[in-house]
Amino acid sequence: MSPNGTTRLFVLIMVCTVFATVCPAGPPDMLSADNTVFIAKKLMTKCYNKGYPLPKMTLLRNIFNNSNLFEGGRTVDQSNNFLSTFLHILDMVTGATNKNSQSPPRMEAAETRMWNSSNLPAVIRMMKNSSDPSCCYMKAFVAPLSWATLTAQSKTYFDSIDYNTLLWAAKPVLQDIPSTGMMLPARVDAHNMATMMNMLQEVYTSMTKEQKAEVFNWAKEQVLQNNFSCTMRPSSGPKSSEFKSNMTTKMNPSLGRKFLQRIQGCSSISECVDKLGPLACYYDATNLTSNTSKKLLSQLDDCDSPTAFKLKKRLVNSLITASSSAQDLHDLGRSVSLLSPKQLSEISVKNLKDVLQNVGPSVKWSRSQMRILVEKQLGGRKCGELSGQQLMELQSVAAGLPCCVVKNVKPQDILNNIETLKTISRHMRKGQLKAMLQGLSEKVHPSELVQKLSGPLLRSVSLKNLEKANITSLDQVENKTWRLPQAAYLAKKMYGLKKLQYRRLNSVLQGITCKMIDEVNGSYTLDMAESITETPQWLSEVQAQCAARKLFKTLENKTTDYFKNITAQELERIPTMLLLHLPPSKVKDLPDSVCEVFLNKMETANLTTLPPRSPSRPALAERALLCLPNGTSVSGLTTSDVLRLGPLLCELKPSTLLLMAPEVLKFSLQAMGPCEHIPQTHRADLIQLVNRVFGMPSNWTAETMESVGPLILLDENAPSTLPNKPWMKDVLVFLKPQLTQISDALRKKIFDLTTTTTSSTARKRQAVNGDTSSSSTEPTEAVIEELELDNVFWTTAELELMSNSTFLATVDILGLVPNYSSDQLEVLCRKAVEAFGPVSHMTESDIVQLGCIMQSFSNSELEMLPLSLDSLDEIDVCDWKGSQLPSVWKGVAKYNNLSAVLLGSAEMVQLSQFICGLNSSEISQLSVGAFSDAVGSMDGLQCPVEVLQQLKNVAVSAFGVPCNWTEAQVSDLDNIIAGLNGSEIASLSPSVFPFISKSCISQIPPEHFAALSVVQLEALGPVNAAMVTSEQRSMLTAEQLSILDKTAIGGLVDQRETLPIESGAPVLSLEGISTFMKPVLFLLIGFLLL
């Protein structure tokens, strides 16, 4: 049989299998998730619930009966059977089908054979390329057919293009139907395996744990069938030339080392070093050839383990010599950032330009490196003019340009290359962004700027200029990312113009208020709820609460005891994000008939918008337990049952966990390792339970530490008790990014583990030299580079041992630490003077390198420092004393020939917290126009209250009296709000309180905070309410405290017209739902792919 004939026969069988018998007219069993027609119906229901228009018959006939897509012998009736099947399912979705309706004719196998499988991808492409929104229904219809087509293959019947098309169409089956029973292809050829795995990784977060395990086991079999990898079949010998890792995600250190050992046991790694992928992060190589070193270096870009850092540094130093060619530099890739400033200074301008183009915008440079690179590019002309092309070529180095350079870039040179400008602006400092905008605004109208800008530059546009942009439609704003004050302004503008369309708001959602939500017409409430939850990253806790309240009230107005009698289909339509806010009493009332849908929703829920102390958390966990088959008897729970709980497992009490069977308890604790939130009251007992089940940490293996280590690290004292085992440092460094809070004790433990080897080596050297008088560890260049901010843990005695050469080589890194003690600063100050000479002789270059070490200088020394405005951004993060700020300002003013009256918006932004050093007379001289343009980029000011009060006076001159301030203005003013006195803060509209930044709350003087009304306290929202200090609480009345406590736990408040949303949407974790069940085993598949 010809290949084409084989293909046709295959699909004839497929379509016969899939659609030969259509489901009965009645609704299918909710548990039969693998039923193809049920899946199609469920996906089409999503289209219907989202408001997509129903497809017109002309479009349907064009798709299903297109003569170009089918080949000979087909009758009209036969082709129409496919269309009738679609229409029948559509009728079930829209409610047009009842139990007595007639099912479409059964399709006989002979008729089904007229559907040509090779043309199914062509049908999909027609749908994919159509702009008609009603195609949503047809895409839903072909999704399960496409997946069934892929999974039933035992041979490859499609070329790569068609295979990719089918995968694209099938994706919703796994992505939107998490309860779907997994049926994976019996065989996927090697050339299609990577594409299949990429799709599976994209839908990973919606899979159940069982599905993830099934994917892992399936992939192992695929690897064995396609190619015998040495990690799977060591006896047969590896095919190193074909070995490859497509995985880019971090791997557990213990697992990475085990895989590496397997490969080393059956193959020479040097033969496949360029294919190691993430395994390279744990490969400590020696005596490599130059060519092998280059290959290995390219594999280390995404590694951040201590071993990998040392290896990269060693490889770079071995590859670069004084006579290195442009190609040698090119081969370094992103590791070129490990070259010293001296090495960079020796690279020719031409080669440097090639290097910057090669590494792109993602490389991070140190201050000294940046200074060298900028000097070479500008050729000694500090404020030399750059063309737009030259600016684009600088890539990541653009962040080091003086503001005077970026301010003078011509608009026509950059506004026509928006994507590159967006990329470069990601690295630019706030002062640079404001300077560039200032220059552009002088030549381009704000309306054109807002239209063309994106990224950080757009978010730096002031409210004043945004108002001038004359935005009148959602078309101008919907596809851009706005900061909160801008979103608040735009939401209010669209609301006033009656143009709020929730599905199109995107980042503007941040600015909607409860009043706007409450005014949604009841018949559109569900559509509004579904729309705003499509972009959950822009919703705050208060917004979710407001939308949930509105939705629940609307539903309950329709039917008495709505949630007591809710059906599975009705519960399915409620967005999971809002269902989480269902009051505990109503959660308890949910009928058992909705348990399957409820568990499906909870299994993939993201709890970030639910306040940590919300009573809904334990209520949801309890209801989920009771929904499980064995939920009434915890001792009978299985591991599968536990996984159905999703993140609600993290909410279970340790006393409940203790009732589980031993193996299930052990499994549950391991599953809780990635929990983003463990109730504070559970933590002590949970840690005891972990020790009881797994033993004391001193006896743990690396694997145990990786899985349940995050649980014991909830105790801030735990790190100091951990053993100094060889693998401990790598594991702690691996776990660190996963922790919601990183204690100083954990950082100190990593410091101790890092310096232990150095200390041991030093003692041996001292013993050889006969010097045993000191037990202190001398800081070395390699250790200081590895420690970064953890250099804060060196003792003064150890810092004293640091050589002058080491200090000079690492001063950039040492200067990054913001919180040295006064004793440490005293030692570092002496080292600085030893290296650079007296403070009075230090150059601007020296000062830039010192960074936060400048805190050690006296006030008189600070006043004479050669500090440029461009250098202030680097030291803004340092823990400056309030008494030092005026001295820094005086030094900056003197060196830059500045005075308060001359400060423009860019200069104010560059000053950042050092604007707190101006005295009251100078603050009164600030330009009101420049201030209003700059204040939105001056966020996070930590000024003394007296200074905030003076800045508040400028704000009053700019925006009017506080009682008239809008949500956007309050958000823009940020911490300056803390400068309001009691009567002023009491005059603020309750609608603006959710827009007060959380960092501002603790800065409000307690006596002023006590002036807030109950309504204002209620409007703060859970995040802000949780920031109230004990001193502020002590000044409140019993009634105020009661309301504040209710607000902090997300308690339902009375719906008042003036109550808005909370300011700022908390960003959802980059790992989101997937961090609950860490996808280590799943992601290893990429490593195994051939």
On the question of pLDDT at 568 being above 80, the answer is: yes
Predicted confidence at residue 154, as pLDDT, reads 52
Q: For residue 107, what pLDDT band results from cuts at 50, 70 and 90?
A: very low
**CA distance linking residue 81 with residue 20, whole number of Å:** 10
**CA distance linking residue 744 with residue 1010, whole number of Å:** 34
On the question of pLDDT at 211 being above 80, the answer is: no
Question: DSSP readout, 672-708?
Answer: TTT-S---GGGHHHHHHHHHHHH--GGG--HHHHHHH
Tell me the mean pLDDT in the region 424-445: 91
List alpha helices for 720-843, DSSP H.
728-735, 744-768, 781-787, 796-800, 804-814, 822-836
Residue range 470-484, pLDDT digits in tens:
999 999 998 899 999
**CA distance linking residue 983 with residue 185, whole number of Å:** 69
Residue range 921-960, pLDDT digits in tens:
999 999 999 999 999 999 889 999 999 999 999 999 999 9
Q: For residue 6, what pLDDT band results from cuts at 50, 70 and 90?
A: very low
Tell me the mean pLDDT in the region 113-117: 39
Predicted confidence at residue 256, as pLDDT, reads 82
On the question of pLDDT at 171 being above 70, the answer is: yes
% the chain with pLDDT above 70: 81
- Find, among 183, 185, 180, the residue nearest to 206 by Cα: 180
Residue range 536-567, pLDDT digits in tens:
999 999 999 999 999 999 999 988 899 999 99
Q: Give the CA radius of gyration of the chain.
A: 32
Predicted confidence at residue 101, as pLDDT, reads 45
What is the residue-averaged pLDDT of the chain?
82
Burial of 1072 (0-12, 13-18, 19+ CB in 10 A): middle
On the question of pLDDT at 244 being above 60, the answer is: no
Q: For residue 157, what pLDDT band results from cuts at 50, 70 and 90?
A: low
Compute CA distances 880 → 706, 875, 877, 913, 935, whole Å. 38, 9, 8, 9, 21
Give the number of other Cβ atoms within 10 Å of residue 497's Cβ.
12
Predicted confidence at residue 836, as pLDDT, reads 95
Phi-psi region of 321 (alpha: psi -120 to 50; beta: other; left: phi over 0): beta
Q: For residue 45, what pLDDT band results from cuts at 50, 70 and 90?
A: confident
Residues 6+ apart with CB under 8 A from 877: 818, 852
On the question of pLDDT at 37 being above 80, the answer is: no
On the question of pLDDT at 30 being above 90, the answer is: no
Predicted confidence at residue 1078, as pLDDT, reads 39
Q: Are 1034 and 1006 in contact (CB under 8 A)?
A: yes
> What string of H, E and C letters represents the secondary structure of 362-420?
HCCCCHHHHHHHHHHHHCCCCCCCCCHHHHHHHHHHHHHCCHHHHCCCCHHHHCCCHHH
- Most confident range (mean pLDDT) of 239-248, 405-414, 621-630 is 621-630
Tokens, residue 1015: 């309504």
**CA distance linking residue 648 with residue 650, whole number of Å:** 5
Residue range 995-1043, pLDDT digits in tens:
999 999 999 999 999 999 999 999 999 999 999 999 999 999 999 999 9
* DSSP for residue 941: -
Give the number of other Cβ atoms within 10 Å of residue 1034's Cβ.
10
**CA distance linking residue 693 with residue 695, whole number of Å:** 6
- Position with higher pLDDT, 820 vs 210: 820
Residues comprising the chain, all counted: 1090
Predicted confidence at residue 209, as pLDDT, reads 56
For the chain, the distance separating the N- and C-terminal CA atoms, rounded to the nearest angstrom, is 31
On the question of pLDDT at 404 being above 50, the answer is: yes
- Position with higher pLDDT, 134 vs 175: 134
- CA 1064, distance to chain mean position in Å, is 16
Predicted confidence at residue 578, as pLDDT, reads 96
List own/partner pairs for 324-329 with CB under 8 A and 24 or more apart.
326/350, 326/351, 326/354, 329/354, 329/355, 329/358
Q: For residue 763, what pLDDT band results from cuts at 50, 70 and 90?
A: low
On the question of pLDDT at 903 being above 90, the answer is: yes
Predicted confidence at residue 184, as pLDDT, reads 77
Q: For residue 325, what pLDDT band results from cuts at 50, 70 and 90?
A: confident
Predicted confidence at residue 340, as pLDDT, reads 87
On the question of pLDDT at 155 being above 70, the answer is: no
- Position with higher pLDDT, 545 vs 239: 545
Tell me the mean pLDDT in the region 802-823: 95
- CA 891, distance to chain mean position in Å, is 39
On the question of pLDDT at 439 being above 60, the answer is: yes
Packing angle of the helix pair 525-532, 541-558 (nearest 10 deg): 150
* Helix-strand-coil split of the chain, %, nearest 5: 65, 0, 35
On the question of pLDDT at 794 being above 60, the answer is: yes
**CA distance linking residue 1008 with residue 952, whole number of Å:** 14
% the chain with pLDDT above 90: 51
**CA distance linking residue 407 with residue 422, whole number of Å:** 16
Tell me the mean pLDDT in the region 1074-1083: 39
On the question of pLDDT at 528 being above 80, the answer is: yes
Q: In 521-609, where do the E strands start and end? A: none
- Position with higher pLDDT, 148 vs 835: 835
Residue range 267-308, pLDDT digits in tens:
667 777 877 777 888 887 777 888 888 888 888 888 878 888
* DSSP for residue 1063: S
**CA distance linking residue 880 with residue 601, whole number of Å:** 48
**CA distance linking residue 545 with residue 582, whole number of Å:** 9
Among the ranges given (41-45, 74-78, 441-445), the one the predictor scored with the smallest mean pLDDT? 74-78
Tell me the mean pLDDT in the region 55-84: 61
**CA distance linking residue 600 with residue 676, whole number of Å:** 20
Burial of 472 (0-12, 13-18, 19+ CB in 10 A): exposed
Predicted confidence at residue 1059, as pLDDT, reads 35
**CA distance linking residue 533 with residue 227, whole number of Å:** 44
Q: What phi and psi, each to the nearest 5 degrees, are found at residue 153? A: -70, 140
Q: Are 216 and 1088 in contact (CB under 8 A)?
A: no
Compute CA distances 206 → 180, 562, 588, 1072, 1076, whole Å. 10, 28, 26, 11, 12
**CA distance linking residue 457 with residue 69, whole number of Å:** 48
Residue range 341-395, pLDDT digits in tens:
888 888 888 888 888 888 877 788 888 888 888 888 887 677 877 887 788 778 7
On the question of pLDDT at 707 being above 80, the answer is: yes
Dihedral of alpha carbons 571, 573, 577, 583, sign: negative
Compute CA distances 859 → 95, 765, 811, 850, 874, whole Å. 78, 42, 22, 16, 19
Tokens, residue 795: 């003792």
- Position with higher pLDDT, 220 vs 544: 544
